[in-house]
Structures are given as structure tokens and as C-alpha cells.
Amino acid sequence: MNTSTTRKLNGSNHLPLGDQRNAPFYGKDILSVKQFIRDDLTYIYEVAHEMREMVARIGTFDLLKGKILANLFYEPSTRTSSSFTAAMERLGGSVIPINEVRYSSVSKGESLPDTVRTLECYADVIVLRHPEVGASALAAKYARKPIINAGDGVGEHPTQALLDLFTILEEIGDAEGLTVTMLGDLKNGRTVHSLSRLLSLFHAKLNFVSPAVLEMPAEIVSELADKGIHQHAYTDLDPVIADTDPVIADTDVLYVTRVQKERFASEAEYDEVKNLYVITPETLKQAKKKMIVMHPLPRVGEISLEVDEDPRAAYFRQMEYGLYTRMALLAMVLGKA
């Protein structure tokens, strides 16, 4: 059951609260940003706001008391994994952490469907990160409980995009028609795949800055073009190097990404494109006063440490927005929001 229109059972045939049957995300998977329309986003962010207020007011509360989340990570994670854990625990629920599948039966050769079918015997929702594109969709096909895609290889990272958009809305006030410049590894970076799709709902203008070998995949470019999104590709932010008009001056959101070392066939190929771009205070001199610099993190040199002092550096605030967004998503799929 992997469609956004199919509700999954929430542990039994008895719904936990009768009046939650109509909650739009109850029992659903979150696999791709393609499943969202703008009304969904409005709803998610209303709930995220409530979560923020509750955390500020009382820290931890019992909305998901008795619920269990399985955090199943086949790839490394700091923020996604710990923010889902924090989200669940702040809502009074608990977590089965499988952050290192090496120590689980996966190392004995267990398949993803079997691992998921196991965990759902113990948990109410499964957060899954996996190196293969489509892994979450595959897991969702076999699972009765909701699957939340926490990154499927170079595919998507929908919950990151939801928190990225929440950051933009909170920091800038609106996303409609913004100019968003995405820089770095646009080929392998799943966060930009999801975010560009989500921003298409807001008619954003998208600039893609990358070396030719790390361009935004053609499939995504054509998907966005079909929606009438203005897109421009550059090889550098510096207009002299790129031989174009400056893009930084028009940019409302500069979304910087790491070159995804783990996706390269060899160290030598990675070495050719690593460290191509470094955002410094000098870069931001030409930027608007009211713009923000974002990064899904970890950064490995593409934003200099001096930029952290600039109020436009939003990447640390971005992480906190992630907590509220993920609290909202958990409450929603478990029928409590």
C-alpha cells in the first residue's frame, strides 16, 4: 500500500480516536514531495507551528504516548535520525533505533521487505533511510504501517524539503515567486531534488549552479519545465567565471549542498569536483540584505565558518525547524493532528 490515498492500519482495526478518521495524513506514507498539494503544506505548517509553541511552553507532552517509531537507517545520519528521535520523544512516544544496520539481521542477508515487516510488528511508524532510489516505496508496498522516506539514495528526501520550505516561509514570510539558487551537487543531492519540486508549487524561479557533471537531472528539469518553472543553469556564482549576469544579487534563497562523495565511483572523480565552490562573506557582499543561506548539512567546506556570523546564515536555524516539521508529520500520520 504505497499510495498517498491509501490509509494503512494503525496497529489494529480500531482507530485510536474516532474523530481522527478524517485527518488527511492519518495512516499514510510520506515517500515523495510529489504527493503534496499546497493545502497539505498549509496544514503541515499549521501543525508545525503548534508544535513549536508546545515545545517552547512545555517541552515534552503526551500526544503520542504509547506510540513507537522504528528509525531504520541504512546510511549515516546525524540530523534526520536524531530529530525524528527527538520529535517522537517530545511527543511522549518512544523509538527503536536501528542506526547501524550492520548490527541487525540486515547483515545476515535479510531483505528490506522482511526487515520492514518485522519492525512493524513492534512499531507504529517506520522512518527509513536507504541507499537505493525507490527503497521507501518498496518498503511501503509491504508495510501495513506508515513509512516515512528519510532519504532514498539520490532520489528524494521529502521531510528535509518540508523543513526547508518551512524555513523559507518562516524566515522570508512567503515562498511565492522567490528566486532560489541551488549550488553544488545537484545531480546526487536528494534534498535539492525534493526541494525544487516542492518550490514549483510556489512558482519559484530556480537557478542551478554546478559543474556540468553534477547538473540537476534532466528528468527533474523537464518535470519542472512542464510546470512552467523558470530555470537557469550556471557553472559558477561568479559572473566572470561563469560568463553570465550575476545571480547572487537576485537570489532570495541560496541553498548550498555538499558534493556527495559517497555517490562517486572513485576518489579521483570526487577530487575533480570537490571544493569548487566556497561561500564566503565576500560572496554575500553582493547579495540582498533580506536573503538567506541554507544548507541541509553536513557542510564539508562549501560555506566558510565566517559566514556563520552573518544573520542571513539560516542553516543552524533550519535544523530547529526540522524538529517541529517532523513532530507535525509524526502526529499527522499517527492520527493525532
Q: To the nearest whole angstrom, how small is the minimum distance from the Cβ of residue 311 to ligand ASP? A: 23
Q: To the nearest whole angstrom, how small is the minimum distance from the Cβ of residue 14 to ligand ASP? A: 36
In this structure, are residues 293 and 314 in contact, taking their beta carbons and an 8 Å threshold? yes
Query: Per CB under 6 A, does 191 bind ligand ASP?
Result: yes
Q: To the nearest whole angstrom, how small is the minimum distance from the Cβ of residue 259 to ligand ASP? A: 9
Query: Per CB under 6 A, does 157 bind ligand ASP?
Result: yes
In the bound state with ligand ASP, the residue whose beta carbon lies nearer, of 27 and 155, is: 155
Give CA–CA dist 44/57, Å, rounded: 20
Q: To the nearest whole angstrom, how small is the minimum distance from the Cβ of residue 19 to ligand ASP? A: 36
Residues in region 239-298 near ligand ASP by CB under 6 A: 258, 260, 296
- Judged by CB under 6 A, how many residues of this single chain contact ligand ASP? 7
Q: To the nearest whole angstrom, how small is the minimum distance from the Cβ of residue 256 to ligand ASP? A: 10
Q: Among 190, 193, 197, 336, which residue sits at the site for ligand ASP (rule: CB under 6 A)?
A: 190
Percent helix, strand, coil in the chain (nearest 5)? 45, 15, 40
In the bound state with ligand ASP, the residue whose beta carbon lies nearer, of 179 and 191, is: 191
Question: Where does residue 218 rank: exposed (0-12), middle (13-18), buried (19+ CB within 10 A)?
Answer: exposed
DSSP string over 123-189: -SEEEEEESSTTHHHHHHHH-SS-EEEEEETTS--HHHHHHHHHHHHHHHS--TT-EEEEES-TTT-
In the bound state with ligand ASP, the residue whose beta carbon lies nearer, of 20 and 260, is: 260
Cell numbers of 177, please? 515567486
In the bound state with ligand ASP, the residue whose beta carbon lies nearer, of 120 and 185, is: 185
Find the angle CA(60)-CA(65)-CA(71) to the nearest 5 degrees.
85
Question: Any residues with CB less than 8 A from the CB of 14 and at least 6 apart, and which?
Answer: none
H/E stretch holding 122:
helix 112-122
Residue type, position 102, single letter: R
In the bound state with ligand ASP, the residue whose beta carbon lies nearer, of 193 and 336, is: 193
In the bound state with ligand ASP, the residue whose beta carbon lies nearer, of 76 and 177, is: 76
In the bound state with ligand ASP, the residue whose beta carbon lies nearer, of 67 and 258, is: 258
Q: To the nearest whole angstrom, how small is the minimum distance from the Cβ of residue 296 to ligand ASP? A: 4
Q: To the nearest whole angstrom, how small is the minimum distance from the Cβ of residue 154 to ligand ASP? A: 9
Give CA–CA dist 96/85, Å, rounded: 9
Binding map of ligand ASP across residues 56-95, x = CB under 6 A, - = no contact = ----------------------------------------
Give CA–CA dist 157/190, Å, rounded: 6
In the bound state with ligand ASP, the residue whose beta carbon lies nearer, of 10 and 85, is: 85
Residues in region 133-152 near ligand ASP by CB under 6 A: 151
Find the angle CA(158)-CA(329)-CA(136) to the nearest 5 degrees.
45
Torsion over CA: 246, 248, 251, 253 (sign): positive
Q: To the nearest whole angstrom, how small is the minimum distance from the Cβ of residue 295 to ligand ASP? A: 8
Residues that bind ligand ASP (CB under 6 A): 151, 157, 190-191, 258, 260, 296
